[in-house]
């Protein structure tokens, strides 16, 4: 790949620039910040510390693109562009996977395995680019004869703010539908993991995305994210992150009543019925939380197990947790990598302390790995708590770490009530061999995604999003594209 962005390889400690209006630029303030390998503490790069002034020039670049050549791209041209981007992703996938692994700690096997989802997402959006259309309406107006129809038009400039726990997936979920619908984007990645979004911007430029259509402004949430949320010339805001930040963004959007989509936190239940296939359920329930070291909004961290099998299931779960290989994400044998930062590690360790103090029983893990090279990174053992009560802190609050809270239940009515007794509603898992039980539970769980005898089954064609405090709006599926479109009614009198 070209080195116009300064993106050499993600371990050289070099300086990277942000991408605005088709150019690689520094922050107007000249300030920078560091991003470090969470497994070793090594400096990966320095990155511009963008501010409101940088956000403003990025929004202006996006607006100029909408009023320039990009507005003349027909659906087939946008489709061809997305397909070219997908081909370049396929060509450079090893570099993308390595960037995710080093910048936020994801095991390289998991990063590489995301290839199917990334390419599928881009090609799904490409397919949808030529399938978005309005409708012809039969009117009932009392006088006259009319031709009435609707048009689907791009919403305009999209401000996108993403988290650090899945840089590639989050970036594509924001930029992909914008390109398919004809919008322009200003992306603000997390300061904890800004490198992959910058690499993706380089791929977009190489594919021929017009200047200003995709812009990446690096910086903190306060210095760059908040100004993007408040900017009066941003037409729509999409955000993935914590519920508290989502609430702030929603308040900030009121200035110009910009449209908002929020994918926020979760405290997802996993329900294991007495008839479940334990050989399948144990590893899936474990990795529903331990995958990505628990740093995932849909982590199935509240584990409800039928009392008849509870003790056996927890024993198997603890043995599975103890057998997982924890290590640096770059090592192919690693199954559980580090947490993204020292601050996040300390936060999770605080929850482990609260679990013990409130009476939960530790079955596996329960602390930091600090021997040898582990001392330089942010490693926590995969942890299983039993004897957890619903009111305990670890059962109520989103931990964002590799921590499972196991709790017994006696009947379906009880477990439905307990599963729904949370302000969140992002996802849920159900393990049963009985189709009737699966349907009954899936119908009554208040969550945006319910997986039966599976978990993390996210497909580009399926809408994904939350209920309640887990946000609103959908990513994935046809509904996702509609989030980036306005509907216009056109009525023409023809008599």
Residues noted as catalytic: 263, 297
CA distances from 392 to 70, 160, 317, 424, 466 (A): 53, 35, 21, 16, 23
Indicate the length of the chain as a whole number.
495
What's the count of helices (H) and strands (E) in the chain, helices before strands? 16, 23
In whole angstroms, how large is the CA radius of gyration of the chain? 23
Taking each helix axis from N to C terminus, what angle separates 93-104 and 195-207, rounded to the nearest 10 degrees? 160
* Element containing residue 33 per DSSP (H, E): strand 32-36
Quickly list H helices, 208-277: 226-230, 243-252
Residue 359 CA to residue 25 CA, distance in Å, equals 53
End-to-end Cα, the chain, rounded Å: 60
Short-list 287, 293, 246, CA closest to 270: 287
Count of Cβ atoms closer than 10 Å to residue 238 Cβ? 27
**Which two structure tokens, joined as six digits, stand for 27?**
């922050």
* Element containing residue 108 per DSSP (H, E): helix 108-113
Residue 12 CA to residue 6 CA, distance in Å, equals 11
Taking each helix axis from N to C terminus, what angle separates 93-104 and 75-91, rounded to the nearest 10 degrees? 70
């Amino acid at each position: 790949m070209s080195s116009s962005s300064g993106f050499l390889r993600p371990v050289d400690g070099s300086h990277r620039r942000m991408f605005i209006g088709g150019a690689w630029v520094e922050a107007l303030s000249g300030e920078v910040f560091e991003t470090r390998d969470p497994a070793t503490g090594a400096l990966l790069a320095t990155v511009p510390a963008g501010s409101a002034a940088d956000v403003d020039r990025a929004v202006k670049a996006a607006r100029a693109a909408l009023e320039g050549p990009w507005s003349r791209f027909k659906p087939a041209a946008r489709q061809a562009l997305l397909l070219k981007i997908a081909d370049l992703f396929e060509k450079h996938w090893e570099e993308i996977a390595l960037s995710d692994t080093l910048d936020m700690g994801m095991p390289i096997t998991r990063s590489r395995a995301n290839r199917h989802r990334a390419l599928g997402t881009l090609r799904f959006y490409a397919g949808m680019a030529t399938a978005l259309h309005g409708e012809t309406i039969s009117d009932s107006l009392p006088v006259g004869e009319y031709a009435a129809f609707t048009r689907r038009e791009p919403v305009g400039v999209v401000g996108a703010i993403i988290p650090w726990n899945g840089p590639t997936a989050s970036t594509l979920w924001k930029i992909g539908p914008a390109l398919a619908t004809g919008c322009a984007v200003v992306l603000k990645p997390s300061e904890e993991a800004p490198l992959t979004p910058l690499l993706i911007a380089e791929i977009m430029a190489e594919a021929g995305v017009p200047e200003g259509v995709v812009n990446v402004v690096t910086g903190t949430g306060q210095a760059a994210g908040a100004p993007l949320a408040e900017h009066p010339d941003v037409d729509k805001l999409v955000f993935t992150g914590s519920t508290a930040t989502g609430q702030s963004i929603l308040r900030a959007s009121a200035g110009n009543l910009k449209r908002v989509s929020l994918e926020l936190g979760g405290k997802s239940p996993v329900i294991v019925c007495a008839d479940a296939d334990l050989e399948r359920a144990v590893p899936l329930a474990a990795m529903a939380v331990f995958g990505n070291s628990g740093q995932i909004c849909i982590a199935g961290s509240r584990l409800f197990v039928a009392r008849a099998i509870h003790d056996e299931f927890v024993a198997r779960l603890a043995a599975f947790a103890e057998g997982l290989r924890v290590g640096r994400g770059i090592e192919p044998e690693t199954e559980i990598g580090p947490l993204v930062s020292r601050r996040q590690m300390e936060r999770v360790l605080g929850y482990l302390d609260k679990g013990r103090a409130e009476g939960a029983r530790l079955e596996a893990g329960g602390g930091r790995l600090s021997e040898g090279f582990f001392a330089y990174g942010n490693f926590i053992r995969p942890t299983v708590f039993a004897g957890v009560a619903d009111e305990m802190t670890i059962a109520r609050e989103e931990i964002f770490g590799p921590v499972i809270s196991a709790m017994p239940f006696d009947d379906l009515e009880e477990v439905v009530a307990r599963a729904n007794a949370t302000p969140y509603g992002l996802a849920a898992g159900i393990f049963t061999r009985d189709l009737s039980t699966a349907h009954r539970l899936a119908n009554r769980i208040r969550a945006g995604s319910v997986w039966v005898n599976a978990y993390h089954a996210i497909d580009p064609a399926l809408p994904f999003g939350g209920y309640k405090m887990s946000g609103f709006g959908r990513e994935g599926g046809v509904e996702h594209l509609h989030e980036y479109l306005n509907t216009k009614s056109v009525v023409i009198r023809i008599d």
